Amino acid sequence: MRRVKIGKLRHRITLQAPALTQDSLGVVSETWSDTATVYAQIEAISGREFFDAARVSAEVTHRIRIRHRPGIVPAMRVLEGARTFDIRAALDVDGRKRELTLMCVERV
């Protein structure tokens, strides 16, 4: 079992969930609302890991580890400074609800 050490959680991230809004003309648009701000470990996936992660999603470019929080789903996204990551999978790797590994794609 690999646990995230507190010293590695050095990135302050914001988790966001999508919300649909409708204006007075009936036009529906997608907006994002902040759900939590937490510390995380952000890692770029190396070549070999990229091919292993391809089973989850062929586009996964980063792994983000956070302490476990309920309610995180692939429809959400992560903000870190000016960077945006779309969540492709939220994995409780050891099933003990200690940490979540978010398999993400960085938007460019």
The secondary element (H helix, E strand) that includes residue 49 is helix 47-53
The CATH number of the domain where 36 resides is what?
A: 2.40.10.270
Q: Give me the number of domains the chain comprises.
A: 1
Query: Which class for 80: exposed (0-12), middle (13-18), buried (19 or more C-beta within 10 A)?
Result: middle
What is the C-alpha radius of gyration for the chain, rounded to an integer number of angstroms?
Answer: 15
* Domain region containing 50: 6-106
Q: What digits encode the pLDDT tens for the residues 89-106?
A: 999 988 899 999 999 999
Which pLDDT does position 8 carry in this prediction? Answer: 83
For the entire predicted model, the pTM comes to 0.79
Long-range contacts of 54-57 (CB under 8 A, 24+ apart): 56/88, 56/89, 56/103, 57/88, 57/89, 57/103, 57/105
Domain-located, residue 1: no
